[in-house]
Amino acid sequence: MAAHRSGPLKQQNKAHKGGRHRGRGSGQRDGKGRLAVKTLSKKVRKELSRVDQRHRASQLRKQKKEAVLAEKRQLGSKDGPPHHVLVVPLHNRISLPEAFRLLQDSDTGTVHLSEWGSTSSFMLLCPRLKHRWFFTSAKPGDLHTVLDVAKVADTILFLLDSVEGWDSTGDYCLSCLFAQGLPTYTLAVQGVSGLPPKKQIDARKKLSKAVEKRFPDDKLLLLDTQQEAGMLLRQLANQKQRHLAFRDRRAYLFAHAADFVPSEENNLVGTLKVSGYVRGQTLNVNSLLHIIGHGDFQMKQIDAPMDPFPLNPRVIKSQKDQGMAMEICATDAVVDMEEDLKVLMKADPDRQESLQSEVIPDPMEGEQTWPTEEELSEANDLLKESSKIVKKVPKGTSSYQAEWILDEDGQSGGEGDEYDDTEYEDFMEEESQDESSEKEEEEECETMTIGESVHDDLYDEKVDEEAEEKMLEKYKQERLEEMFPDEVDTPRDVAARIRFQKYRGLKSFRTSPWDPKENLPQDYARIFQFQNFTNTRKRIFKEIEEKEVEGAEVGWYVTLHVSEVPVSVVEYFKQGAPLIAFSLLPYEQKMSVLNMVVSRHPGNTEPVKAKEELIFHCGFRRFRASPLFSQHTAADKHKFQRFLMADVALVATVYAPITFPPASVLLFKQNSNGMHSLIATGHLLSVDPDRMVIKRVVLSGHPFKILTKMAVVRYMFFSREDVLWFKPVELRTKWGRRGHIKEPLGTHGHMKCSFDGKLKSQDTVLMNLYKRVFPKWTYDPYVPEPVPWVKSEISSAVPEVNME
């Protein structure tokens, strides 16, 4: 019996090293000061001892604690801006005047009332607590007011009902606020003291259980007596402030007063004087100002009038009675404002930001100058070299005849190069509209319903049949897109090589090259693009943190002179709407391509098609645009999505002014009744015109005859020329086979194809074609006011059904 001998590939294990264990000290002694390559290549960092490390950690903790305390002490103090509190009642049973009456206690401090239209607000000065508050209110049905004031409020005070907490309108308002980003908030319950004493504890327990879905770890405070109102004010003053990133890097201002001075040439445009407290960052007069809902403007100057609501007002002794003292209230401060007025800054035309938002395209920019003689001679030499082409021609063919013979892949004579995908869709829509109008003309006879119920007639009166038909068609299209993604029927009235002339085939969607600067639309000549957006953003944010800016400091009461403002802004403010202004960072007034990651809101199930007009709330901006939807991937090409799908994060692409992330994004759709429905939420991803959105079209055919790896496929094309045109494009099947077209058969679009395996008779042959798509330029900064979300109006939007 032969013994087993190991071969040359036998595994060789390391021999065990005997002896005692070597410690770190012996290794350092044997190394004689030699260091590893990694240690030498890294920067030499000073190693601290354990005591020094603890000392440094305690110093950092102390600095952070002091920064938090300084921020808390400045807010609402005599040197900082008043503590802005937005009061939002989340149920229609809550009495807002009663809550304001409890907070306006004369024992707590001095109260200054101010009312503009429907918006009531008041300033509460409390020298005992060394704090001053500015309370404003907004009804949850008034969506624009709630979202706009929440962007600048320091704290939101939610008033809950003692039984239900919030109703449907309040729940919708909370969904929008959570998506936008909540600042510091407090929960207060109204109406608990009105219950019997034995039921109060049970009511609070039930309410806590109902509220913990939205607010899991928050404490409920009561607001029924003066004592509870005082405890609520202390809680508001001592709360740790939560930060919203998009407003911390910009200066912003909530208008307490506004005045309009019309210009001499036009009464509809003039100078707007806005007074309020500066918050966020230092406000520079040379930067641009964005008034929410109205656009971007330039400032002329910044004035510094006397603060109308000082925490410790000046006291004037009366000559008759030395014991009596008179405090200067807000009205006296306004009278003396002109005396104490001083100009802080005036705009410098050389350093002021421009309002130019678009590039004016020059049609002659791409033209070349007349070439020199050397360039002409080089071009002739290249032409001679390139003109020598080797062709296969029949024997006896002259050189003149050979020039007229086309290659196998020569271009076919198809007209109509400008025929586009959208034109075809418009043509099909017009045809369907014409057919429906003809049917309506034919059916001119009257119909009468006999024996129908009166309730059915009332129900039918509220139903919009045209809107119902459109919605049904959109549901069908969305369902077809889910079942057969990107599949289209090859048209029979138009040649496929003309219908899909702007499409191309790709070997691999992920790895095949595609130049992002190729065949750009005319609108791309109007936008701005960064060479490196990420580096520009980092540089601007670093300058905000480190560079000292001249201007109005945080907490100062100032008056801004804003030039070229339409008179509608002041009328809007006098009707009761809030006037809020944000300063813009560099380049934020310029137009570019914005990409936003959005997810479908679970409360809305209506189909949303790409290129539909939607309302965007992006950071501090509000505008209308028609977005493209695409997949959110890390590749260089992103597949176009025809619908906003549920449970999938997609990227919405629009033309809009540049905004530096982070910024929250809310997408609304305006219904036929004027209300705005929240359809998606997300955040701003990037500002990148080079992000390629690729539309895919899938042509399908059916195997007619199958012989091992060969098959005859029909119904993909309907002419021999189309088969030859698309011959280089690779084929695939739904069951994973790959192949290509060998040759056309006959003149009706049948073609012989070969595959990498045997086809099944029930398989489907597919061809993928791709085209880059761009968003439509539909940006509109004006957004109409939505109809308030009231419970009765919500129910009236859908006809009521009697279940009896």
pLDDT of residue 308: 86
Q: Has residue 717 been placed in a domain?
A: yes
Same-domain check for residues 97 and 168: yes
**Number of domains present in the structure of the chain:** 3
State the Cα–Cα distance between residues 644 and 631, nearest whole angstrom. 10
pLDDT of residue 698: 92
Same-domain check for residues 302 and 198: no
155, 103 Cβ separation under 8 angstroms: no
340, 304 Cβ separation under 8 angstroms: no
Among 242, 269, 292, give the residue marking a domain's end: 242
742, 711 Cβ separation under 8 angstroms: no
Q: Is 96 helix (H, G, I), strand (E, B) or coil?
A: helix
Q: Residue 530 corresponds to which tokens in the numbers above? A: 């960064």
Same-domain check for residues 747 and 711: yes
Same-domain check for residues 214 and 263: no
Same-domain check for residues 150 and 226: yes
Locus of tokens 């693009």: 529
286, 350 Cβ separation under 8 angstroms: no
Same-domain check for residues 102 and 140: yes
265, 258 Cβ separation under 8 angstroms: no
Question: Which residues is 597 bridged to in the sheet?
Answer: 651, 683
Question: Which residues is 650 bridged to in the sheet?
Answer: 598, 631
* pLDDT beneath 70, residues of the chain: 1-2, 18-24, 27, 32-46, 106, 115-119, 313-340, 363-370, 384-391, 393, 395-396, 398-464, 468, 473-477, 479-484, 788-804
State the Cα–Cα distance between residues 717 and 556, nearest whole angstrom. 73
Q: Is 745 helix (H, G, I), strand (E, B) or coil?
A: strand
pLDDT of residue 59: 92
Question: Which residues is 743 bridged to in the sheet?
Answer: 752
Q: Domain residues for 717? A: 487-507+694-772
pLDDT of residue 338: 47
pLDDT of residue 617: 92
pLDDT of residue 130: 83
| Phi, psi (degrees; rounded to nearest 5) at 283 | -95, 120
pLDDT of residue 347: 87
Displacement of CA 424 from its chain's centroid (Å) = 31
Q: Residue 392 corresponds to which tokens in the numbers above? A: 């296969």
Q: Has residue 262 been placed in a domain?
A: yes
Same-domain check for residues 282 and 193: no
Residue 21 carries which DSSP code?
P
Same-domain check for residues 279 and 168: no
- Kindly list the distances between the CA atom of residue 129 and the CA atoms of 140, 180, 577, 694, in Å, as whole numbers in the listed order: 31, 32, 31, 61
Q: Has residue 370 been placed in a domain?
A: no
Q: Has residue 630 been placed in a domain?
A: no
785, 771 Cβ separation under 8 angstroms: no
Same-domain check for residues 230 and 258: no
314, 328 Cβ separation under 8 angstroms: yes
- Beta-carbon contacts of 183 under 8 Å, excluding residues fewer than 6 positions away, are 150, 153, 154, 155, 156, 241, 242, 243, 244
Question: Which residues is 345 bridged to in the sheet?
Answer: 302
Same-domain check for residues 238 and 280: no
pLDDT of residue 248: 87
Residue 123: give its domain's CATH number: 3.40.50.300
188, 159 Cβ separation under 8 angstroms: yes
State the Cα–Cα distance between residues 72 and 84, nearest whole angstrom. 13
Same-domain check for residues 89 and 236: yes
Same-domain check for residues 126 and 271: no
pLDDT of residue 117: 43
Q: Has residue 324 been placed in a domain?
A: no
Q: Has residue 756 been placed in a domain?
A: yes
State the Cα–Cα distance between residues 186 and 752, nearest whole angstrom. 72
Residue 715: give its domain's CATH number: 2.40.10.190
Residue 718 carries which DSSP code?
S
Q: Has residue 573 been placed in a domain?
A: yes
Burial class of 195 by CB neighbour count within 10 A (0 to 12, 13 to 18, 19+)? middle
State the Cα–Cα distance between residues 125 and 110, nearest whole angstrom. 5
Q: Quick one: the chain helix, strand, coil %, rounded to 5?
A: 30, 25, 45
Residue 254: give its domain's CATH number: 2.40.30.10
Among 197, 212, 242, give the residue marking a domain's end: 242
pLDDT of residue 32: 67
**Exposure class string for 751-789: b at 16+ Cβ within 10 A, else e:** bbbebeeebeeebbbbbbbbbbbbbbbebebebeebbbb
Using alpha carbons, select from 266, 273, 280 the residue that is nearest to residue 299: 273
Q: Has residue 794 been placed in a domain?
A: no
Full-model pTM: 0.74
